Structures are given as C-alpha cells and as structure tokens.
C-alpha cells in the first residue's frame, strides 16, 4: 500500500531479506542526510528571490502591466510553498515522523497543492498574455487590462483552493506501525478518491495547461518570425521577454514531468493496465524518492530565470 505524503508517498514495507535491508538502509540514509539540506537551500533561495520580486512589484505601482500581475501572484504562490519547506526538512530528518499536529499537516498540504495548481496556471496566463501581445495585439485588448488580470488572478486562487480540497479533507497524521512513525499523509476513504486525484493532477494540472502553452508558443514563434514584425525595434524587448517566458515554462514542464508520469503509472496500475510486484520494497522506495524529489524540484532552476524575466518586465515597462 502507498499513501500520498506531501506531493509524494509514504511507503509501507513487506518482508525483508538481509540484502534488501542493506539496500534499504543505504537508500534512506541518503534521503535523511541529503534531502533536508536540499530543501533547506531551496527554502532560503525561494524566500529571498520571491520576496525580492514582490518588493520590486510593490515599488513599481505606476508601471504595472498584466505580466507583472501574473508574475507577482506566481511569486506569492512560490513564497507560500517555500515557507512550508522547513516543516518537511524537520520531518525528513525525523525519518518522516510528523510532529507538528494534524492542523499544520492539513494546512501545509493545502498550501503545497495550491502552489502546484496556481503556479502552472499563472505561468499559463503569462504565456497567454505574450500570445495576445504578439499574435493578437488588437483583438483582445480588454484581456490585457490590469483590472481584468486581477480578476483572473483571483479566479485562479479560488480554483487552486477548490482543487486542493482533498488535502483539506483527507490529509491526516496516521500511524504506520511497521515503520514506527506517525506520518502526514493523504488517507482516502476508498481507492476511487486516489484515482480522481491522479486524473485531476494529470489533466487539470498538466495536460490542459500544456496544450494551451504549446498553442500560444507556436503562435508566438510564428509572430516573432514575421518579417513585418521584426522590422519594429519595439519588438526586441517583447522578443527577449517572450524567450524567457518559454524558458521558464520549459523548465517547469521538465521538472514536473517525472511526477506526472509516476501519477499516470499509478492510475494505469489501478486499472490493471500495468502490473507491479507490490512485494518489492526497492520499487516502492524508488517511487517515493522520485515523488519526494519532484515535489520540490520545480523551484530550483526557475528562481534565477524568473528574477531575470521580472527585471526585464519592470525595467522595460512591458
């Protein structure tokens, strides 16, 4: 049995041989020693970089654009996420024993889930804004209005809250006697909830945004390659900012794709499309480590890119 923990899983174990126990010990020693440091670095960098972005946004009141609105909300979502990481640093250090109570277990689970959905939706809206600015500059002027952007951001936050309701309803602190820990995990009343969660993550949290971003990217590249457009010097900054948007989105997709694949495989296993030897603890450990890694990997490479992109937007008044 595998229960979700953070954006990953807490594995239970079956029978052990001496060789398995040795591999298990070595694997988890790596997790207990490296992951806290890894998440600690992300936490520090994330707090500093996203706080800086929000400070710059607050100081640029007279020059805010639609892209600024989306990126500042993205920074706020990331800031909430990285502020939750210290709790998981302590938890991993304690071999996944959760010592902060059920209320914080639910709150942090909701915060992480909201960050995932809101981040990818805000990034999608940035891509849509670049598409409207370059491919449809005169057709949808209202959608590039700052007031309208604020309304869309509010709608995204509400949608993120609704999509993270399973964390609020089903996340709990549960005792795993075979592991000797009380872990913060998603404990669904029946298997159907887990499948619905997987499908929602794959479709709403990845496939739909990916389709929108891919279409916008294609139209953006087509517009940038237009000879008439390339003659205008004012488009150089638009071109530079758009390239950075594509980089950020590419990094985000690459970082979350392994997690999406694992979620998809779990769904396929539920419907007996694929089979897994459940008695193999090594496979469970590998799955857990992938999920734990990918739960936070989306915030490492994007921080500097996002700061550079934000600097261009603010200095050029896009």
- The whole-chain average pLDDT of the chain stands at 74
Give the model's pLDDT for residue 203: 92
Mean pLDDT confidence for 166-190: 85
What confidence tier does 290 reach under pLDDT thresholds 50, 70, 90? Answer: very low
Residue among 285, 314, 300 at smallest CA distance from 41: 300
Give the model's pLDDT for residue 34: 81
Mean pLDDT confidence for 286-300: 42
Our count of domains for the chain comes to 1
What confidence tier does 308 reach under pLDDT thresholds 50, 70, 90? Answer: very low
Question: Highest-confidence range of 2-11, 138-147, 236-245, 289-298, by mean pLDDT?
Answer: 138-147
Give the model's pLDDT for residue 18: 47
CATH number at residue 185: 1.20.1070.10
263 occurs within a structural domain:
yes
What confidence tier does 235 reach under pLDDT thresholds 50, 70, 90? Answer: low
318 occurs within a structural domain:
no
271 occurs within a structural domain:
yes
57 occurs within a structural domain:
yes
Give the model's pLDDT for residue 9: 41
Question: Highest-confidence range of 161-170, 177-186, 226-235, 236-245, by mean pLDDT?
Answer: 161-170
| Domain containing residue 220 | 2-6+18-313
Give the model's pLDDT for residue 179: 72
pLDDT greater than 60 at residue 21: no
264 occurs within a structural domain:
yes
Give the model's pLDDT for residue 304: 40
Q: What is the pLDDT of residues 90-118, one digit of tens each?
A: 888 887 888 999 999 999 989 988 988 99
Please give the model's pTM, rounded to 2 decimal places.
0.76
More confident residue, 318 or 76: 76
158 occurs within a structural domain:
yes
Percent of the chain exceeding pLDDT 70 equals 68
Mean pLDDT confidence for 155-184: 88
Look at 10-24, 164-178, 189-203 and tell me which has the smallest mean pLDDT: 10-24
Mean pLDDT confidence for 63-75: 85
11 occurs within a structural domain:
no
Give the model's pLDDT for residue 17: 44
Mean pLDDT confidence for 220-240: 64
244 occurs within a structural domain:
yes
Q: What is the pLDDT of residues 110-166, one digit of tens each?
A: 998 898 899 889 988 988 888 888 777 766 666 678 888 999 999 999 999 999 999
What confidence tier does 1 reach under pLDDT thresholds 50, 70, 90? Answer: very low
């Amino acid at each position: 049995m595998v229960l979700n923990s953070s954006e990953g899983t807490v594995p239970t174990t079956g029978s052990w041989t001496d060789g398995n126990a040795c591999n298990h010990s070595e694997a988890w020693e790596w997790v207990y020693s490296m992951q806290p440091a890894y998440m600690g670095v992300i936490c520090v960098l994330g707090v500093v970089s996203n706080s800086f972005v929000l400070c710059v946004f607050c100081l640029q009141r007279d020059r805010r654009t639609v892209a600024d609105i989306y990126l500042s909300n993205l920074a706020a979502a990331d800031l909430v996420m990285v502020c939750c990481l210290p709790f998981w640093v302590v938890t991993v250090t304690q071999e996944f024993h959760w010592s902060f109570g059920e209320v914080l277990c639910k709150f942090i689970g909701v915060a992480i889930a909201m960050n995932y959905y809101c981040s990818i939706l805000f990034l999608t809206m940035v891509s849509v804004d670049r598409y409207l600015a370059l491919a449809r500059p005169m057709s949808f002027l209202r959608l590039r209005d700052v007031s309208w952007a604020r309304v869309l951001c509010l709608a995204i936050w509400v949608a993120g809250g609704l999509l993270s309701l399973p964390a609020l309803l089903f996340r709990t602190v549960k005792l795993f006697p075979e592991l000797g820990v009380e872990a913060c995990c998603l404990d669904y009343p029946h298997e159907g909830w887990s499948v619905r969660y997987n499908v929602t993550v794959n479709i709403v949290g990845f496939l739909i945004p990916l389709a929108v971003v891919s279409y916008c990217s294609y139209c953006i590249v087509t517009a940038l390659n237009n000879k008439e457009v390339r003659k205008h010097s004012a488009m150089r900054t638009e071109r530079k900012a758009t390239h950075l948007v594509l980089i950020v989105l590419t990094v985000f997709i690459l970082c979350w794709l392994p997690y999406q694949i694992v979620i998809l495989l779990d769904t396929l296993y539920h419907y007996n499309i694929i089979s897994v030897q459940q008695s193999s603890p090594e496979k469970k450990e590998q799955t857990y480590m992938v999920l734990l890694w990918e739960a936070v990997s989306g915030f490492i490479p994007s921080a500097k890119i996002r700061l550079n992109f934000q600097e261009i937007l603010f200095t050029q008044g896009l």
